Amino acid sequence: MSVALATAWRPRGELERFQAMAPELLESSLGIAISLPPEADSGLASTLNAISAVQAVATPEWSWGRYLALKTAFESTSASHILYADFDRLLRWIETQPEEWRSTVLALDQYECLIVGRTEEKFGQHLA
Q: How far apart are the C-alpha atoms of 108 and 97, rounded to whole Å?
A: 17
The total number of structural domains in the chain stands at 1
pLDDT band at 24 (very low <50, low <70, confident <90, very high): confident
Task: Give the global pTM.
Answer: 0.88
Query: What's the pLDDT score for residue 109?
Result: 87
DSSP states of the chain as a string?
--EEEEEE---SS-HHHHHHHHHHHHHS-SEEEEEE-TTS-HHHHHHHHTSTTEEEEE-SSGGGHHHHHHHHHHHH---SEEEE--HHHHHHHHHH-HHHHHHHHHHGGG-SS------HHHHHHHH-
| Residue 8's CATH number | 3.40.50
Query: What's the pLDDT score for residue 89?
Result: 87
pLDDT at 88 over 60: yes
Q: Give the model confidence (pLDDT) of 29-69 as tens digits.
A: 899 999 999 999 889 999 999 999 999 999 999 999 999 99
Q: Are 86 and 65 in contact (CB under 8 A)?
A: no
Query: What's the pLDDT score for residue 8?
Result: 95
Per the structure, the complete domain to which residue 117 belongs is given by 3-127
